[in-house]
């Protein structure tokens, strides 16, 4: 896969050298709610995951890319998941790792780059995402990128002893 370049960032495939970066993301308990994670990941498991990341999206049904600035600093990740070529759709998720790099437009640019890739290279018709109703910044981000709320899943996730609602958002690419 070629690098997807934007004005301020680019998206690239995972590399073995991303081990520590992915390890930090996957083991940050502050974001476990977003990824539905409940246990830490070992470096051994992440190393195995990185070795398997060469599989193409048609086989793996997912694609994780690293969001980098033009100084080659890894800022976060953007994912396609539940890739369904028959119905031409996939889920999308984005994470900017450090709060100091959030609200700078990197997530928005990454989403637009991936949306264009999905339409032009993967021939997808739609993308969707799932966002907790209290994640105001993510809701705003995806709405700004053309996603619409199409449903509310009540009491969908059990987090810290309480149920939380989750929105389902969708955009049609073509």
Judge whether 107 lies within some domain: yes
Q: What value does the mean pLDDT take over residues 118-131?
A: 97
Judge whether 143 lies within some domain: no
Task: Say whether pLDDT at 2 is over 60.
Answer: no
Judge whether 81 lies within some domain: yes
Q: Residue 11 contacts by C-beta under 8 Å, 6 or more apart in sequence?
A: 3, 4, 65, 66, 67, 68, 78, 110, 113, 114, 117
Q: How many domains does one find in the chain?
A: 1
Task: Say whether pLDDT at 50 is over 60.
Answer: yes
Judge whether 23 lies within some domain: yes
Q: What value does the mean pLDDT take over residues 25-45?
A: 78
Residue 39: domain span:
4-125
Q: What value does the mean pLDDT take over residues 30-34?
A: 74
- For the chain, what is the mean pLDDT? 91
Judge whether 113 lies within some domain: yes
Give the pLDDT confidence score for residue 31 in this predicted structure.
76
Judge whether 65 lies within some domain: yes
Is 27 or 127 the better-scoring residue by pLDDT?
A: 127
Judge whether 172 lies within some domain: no
**Percent of the chain predicted with pLDDT > 70:** 97
Task: Say whether pLDDT at 155 is over 60.
Answer: yes
Q: Give the domain CATH number at 65.
A: 3.40.630.30
Judge whether 102 lies within some domain: yes
pLDDT in tens, 71-116: 999 999 999 999 999 999 999 999 999 999 999 999 999 999 999 9
- Cα(83)–Cα(72) distance, rounded to whole angstroms? 28
């Amino acid at each position: 896969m070629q690098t997807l370049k934007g004005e301020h960032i680019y998206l690239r495939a995972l590399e073995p050298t991303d081990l520590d970066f992915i390890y930090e993301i996957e083991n940050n308990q502050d974001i476990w709610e977003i990824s539905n994670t409940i246990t830490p990941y070992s470096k051994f498991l992440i190393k195995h995951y990185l070795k398997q990341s060469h599989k193409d999206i048609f086989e793996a049904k997912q694609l994780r890319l690293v969001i980098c600035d033009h100084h080659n600093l890894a800022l976060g990740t953007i994912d396609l998941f539940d890739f369904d070529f028959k119905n031409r759709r996939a889920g999308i998720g984005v994470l900017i790792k450090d709060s100091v790099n959030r609200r700078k437009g990197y997530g928005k640019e990454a989403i637009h780059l991936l949306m264009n890739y999905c339409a032009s290279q993967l021939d997808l018709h739609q993308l969707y995402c799932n966002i907790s109703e209290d994640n105001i910044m993510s809701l705003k981000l995806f709405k700004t990128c053309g996603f619409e709320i199409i449903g509310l899943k009540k009491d969908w996730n059990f987090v810290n002893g309480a149920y939380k609602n989750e929105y389902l958002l969708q955009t049609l690419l073509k």
